[in-house]
Amino acid sequence: MAILRFQALKETLNRKPVKIDETDRRSELFGRNVFNETVMRQFLTKEAYQSVKDATLKGTKISRGVADHISTGMKEWAISKGVTHYTHWFQPLTGATAEKHDAFFETIGDGLAIEKFGGTQLVQQEPDASSFPHGGIRNTFEARGYTAWDPTSPAFIYGTTLCIPTVYVSYTGEALDFKTPLLRALQSVDSAATAVCKYFDKNVTKVIATLGWEQEYFLIDSALYASRPDLQLSGRTLLGHSPAKGQQLDDHYFGSIPSRALAYMRDLEIECMLLGIPVKTRHNEVAPNQFELAPIFEEANLAVDHNSLLMDVMDRVGERHNFKVLFHEKPFAGINGSGKHNNWSLSTDTGINLLSPGSTPMKNLQFLAFFVNTIKAVHDHEELLRATIASASNDHRLGANEAPPAIISAFIGTQLTEVLNELEKVTDGKLSPQEKTDLKLNVVGKIPEILLDNTDRNRTSPFAFTGNKFEFRAVGSTANCANPMTVLNTIVAKQLKEFKKSVDALVKDKKMKKDDAIFNVLRDYIKKSKKIRFEGDGYGEAWQQEAKKRGLSNNKTTPLALRAKVSKQTIDLYKEMKVMNKREVEARYEIELEDYSMRIQIEGRILGDIARNHVIPTAIRYQNVLIENVRGLKEIFEKDFKKHSKEQIGIIEAISGHIEHINADINKMVDARKKANIIEDAEKRAVAYCDEVKPFFEEIRYHCDKLELLVDDETWPLTKYRELLFTR
């Protein structure tokens, strides 16, 4: 193993950046492999084109006859670009994308064949779904599940395959994927937000949720990656002593991008342009060998698809550059982990960002309505928001090295805090002319069009307002954005629905003017949601104590956090907003608990294997070298040998002590794992893995890492942190 480590290092050091051809402009490449509007106008009839547009903008259904025309045009376009196969591309509850390729090729008898792709193949397919997570919605022996075309996300070509974004549902219609609930949530927030927009602009007929994600990741040379069994099998290092130099000098953040990494980024960006993924920003992140890319924001459903696709593309491009991309939230202990900040907002079909202040009091009142309602939604459903970012991998990141804590709070900055404090003083009932004038001119009217983005001073806030959008920072880098976006859009839709109901009641029953009613309801919401707002540093014990006083939840582990997903409040919420039924909610809960248990189980088995088969044998071999040294000293110095071998004997004893602790802890961990495995209840099993199995990881790691410092570097089998993080 030590030989493999040094071979990997040698191979890595001899790598050269891959040459990238960038002769075409990005704008010319953008969307070249996407069945977009330009392509549709060329390959579809006018009726077929309009049907796709209506389905995208209005949600109308496409008839089977028109679907045949669309499929024919799609096939001709794809074949003209060298495509041979098609697939329904979907996002099952595994956290990855799924696809089954079928050829356009079909025989017609007499030794003849044609390329065929009809409307039926476009609109619906029946994949073999027996091995996908389903949470009890369908029996394992029933492989029946359906994928159905989502025309709101355009088809694209990847390699020689036409990929058609689809939803994935069971035979009985329940969602088995991430996309279906998201589409329902987006429809719900569209309806609720449009109704509220009518208070301010009667011309608004549609509200679109937008998303701009920021993908953080690590790049590790493929040879170094292959030398670490824990990275290969779990995505993170389960042991390894911190290097003398880590990220403490802040010399990597926004620094000059290493040449090999830059070549990878350039190649990746070209692939993204072809696929219509509008990536714009790239830079070094805080930790060594950590990077980030971010796109221009898009409609939320399309943005989610693009992020899922991007992660696949990143892996494939990485292979060309001899890199392994690490998406795990915390692949290395002691340095920053990786997140996937979700920048969310709402925009009207009239071109207005509803979370962007305007130039008039009326525009600012509209902004405040959506701003305050979002904060109120976060306040009322903070445990559900925490649950939506819960995972075995994100548990390592939350609350560590400047990452947001497990406590959900909203950071809005000093400017808006002052505005809300003024609005809180609004009189209950009808406003006096003087009060209304003062509000409109001195409070609402003076909100600057460009709010200072001071949230970089509060990197620990899980949910921060950043000028014209909310940034959900607690989302982990491995997450499917559909999960947090489904929750956020659903709770905001619910809140806006309640807001309109309250305002209308004041107008009707109290005979208030619309503006008076809006101010009254907003004032009430500001008071009720005040405890969720926090402007300080969330990284520390002081905020933990303060949050406890405020009554905010602090669910530090995934099993604890996930319980909010099946609370009566959550089930009623999803039912009312028509996003998921009880069966779908409970199925997802079951799946996520099982995923958590399996990941902890796998990590425990890997750690035990590495410790016993790599670390301990190496330590014993080095110990034998020291023993031979002591024997030699005894032969030379006879009675005085103890004086000359004192340090060696101390190291021999220390090695024995660490080996003893490792073996004992592995035995205890295995026993705890066996007990957890026989627990039938998924929640209790996950809790057992969390509370009884996982604590042994740090104990075993501690003693392994101590041995790393004692054992001769030439014989240590595992590639070290300094090599993984600083070999470029």
For residue 70, the domain's CATH number is 3.10.20.70
Can you list the alpha helix ranges (DSSP code H) found in 140-258?
179-197, 222-226, 229-234
pLDDT at 401: 62
On whether both 465 and 608 belong to a single domain, the answer is: no
Cβ neighbours, 10 Å, residue 253: 14
Between 264 and 173, whose confidence is greater? 264
Distance CA 549, CA 572 (A): 28
Q: Residue 108: inside a domain, yes or no?
A: yes
Q: Residue 24: inside a domain, yes or no?
A: no
pLDDT, tens only, 627-674: 999 988 888 887 787 888 889 999 999 999 999 999 999 999 999 999
3-state SS string for 3-40: HHHHHHHHHHHCCCCCCCCCCCCHHHHCCCCECCHHHH
pLDDT, tens only, 448-473: 776 765 555 566 789 999 989 999 99
Q: Does the pLDDT at position 129 exceed 60?
A: no
Q: How large a percentage of the chain has pLDDT more than 70?
A: 95
pLDDT at 359: 84
Element (H, E) at 501: helix 482-509
Q: Does the pLDDT at position 385 exceed 80?
A: yes
Of 114, 142, 176, the domain-final residue: 176
47 close to 67: Cβ distance less than 8 angstroms? no
Q: Does the pLDDT at position 134 exceed 90?
A: no
Query: Over the chain, what is the mean pLDDT?
Result: 91
What the block records as the tokens of 52 is 């796709």
What pTM was computed for the model? 0.94
Distance CA 102, CA 97 (A): 17
DSSP characters over 272-313? HHHTT--EEEEEE-SSTTEEEEEE--EEHHHHHHHHHHHHHH
pLDDT at 99: 87
Q: Does the pLDDT at position 3 exceed 90?
A: no
pLDDT band at 110 (very low <50, low <70, confident <90, very high): confident
pLDDT band at 128 (very low <50, low <70, confident <90, very high): low
294 close to 215: Cβ distance less than 8 angstroms? yes
Q: Residue 6: inside a domain, yes or no?
A: no
Q: Residue 684: inside a domain, yes or no?
A: yes
On whether both 203 and 325 belong to a single domain, the answer is: yes
On whether both 105 and 45 belong to a single domain, the answer is: yes
Q: Does the pLDDT at position 7 exceed 50?
A: yes
pLDDT at 30: 95
On whether both 157 and 201 belong to a single domain, the answer is: no
Q: What CATH number should be reported for the domain holding residue 625? A: 1.20.120.1560
Q: Residue 12: inside a domain, yes or no?
A: no
Q: Does the pLDDT at position 402 exceed 70?
A: no
Of 123, 151, 176, the domain-final residue: 176
Average pLDDT over residues 236-252: 82
Give the chain's end-to-end CA distance (angstroms, integer): 22
The CA distances from residue 644 to 24, 623, 631, in Å, are 70, 17, 11
Average pLDDT over residues 682-700: 97
Q: Residue 15: inside a domain, yes or no?
A: no
User: Which amino acid is located at 659 in the chain?
Assistant: I
Strand partners, 169: 146, 175
Average pLDDT over residues 321-348: 96
Between 489 and 105, whose confidence is greater? 489
pLDDT at 693: 98
On whether both 570 and 653 belong to a single domain, the answer is: no
On whether both 341 and 458 belong to a single domain, the answer is: yes
On whether both 192 and 169 belong to a single domain, the answer is: no
pLDDT, tens only, 201-233: 999 999 999 999 999 999 999 999 999 999 999
Average pLDDT over residues 120-133: 73
pLDDT at 253: 75
Average pLDDT over residues 276-283: 95
On whether both 539 and 613 belong to a single domain, the answer is: no
pLDDT at 644: 83
Of 150, 176, 202, the domain-final residue: 176
On whether both 543 and 616 belong to a single domain, the answer is: no
Q: Provide the number of structural domains found in the chain.
A: 3
DSSP characters over 673-719? HHHHHT--SHHHHHHHIIIIITHHHHHHHHHHHHHHHHS-TTT--SP
Average pLDDT over residues 391-395: 95
pLDDT at 141: 44
pLDDT band at 16 (very low <50, low <70, confident <90, very high): very high
Between 60 and 324, whose confidence is greater? 324
pLDDT at 427: 83
On whether both 413 and 324 belong to a single domain, the answer is: yes
On whether both 656 and 517 belong to a single domain, the answer is: no
Q: Residue 25: inside a domain, yes or no?
A: no
Q: Tell which residue, 405, 621, 406, 373, has the closest CA to residue 500.
A: 373
Signed CA dihedral, 593, 598, 604, 610: sign only: negative
On whether both 228 and 363 belong to a single domain, the answer is: yes
Q: Does the pLDDT at position 387 exceed 60?
A: yes
Structural domain of 669: 595-725
Q: Tell which residue, 468, 504, 470, has the closest CA to residue 489.
A: 470
Element (H, E) at 108: strand 105-109
What the block records as the tokens of 523 is 């004032």
pLDDT at 174: 87
Q: Does the pLDDT at position 140 exceed 50?
A: no
Q: DSSP letter for 151, please.
A: T
Average pLDDT over residues 110-132: 78
pLDDT, tens only, 566-610: 999 999 999 999 999 999 999 999 999 999 999 999 999 999 999
Q: What CATH number should be reported for the domain holding residue 288? A: 3.30.590.10
Rounded to the nearest 10°, the torsion over CA 60, 205, 308, 275 is 80
pLDDT at 142: 53
Q: Residue 451: inside a domain, yes or no?
A: yes
Q: Does the pLDDT at position 66 exceed 70?
A: yes
pLDDT at 536: 82
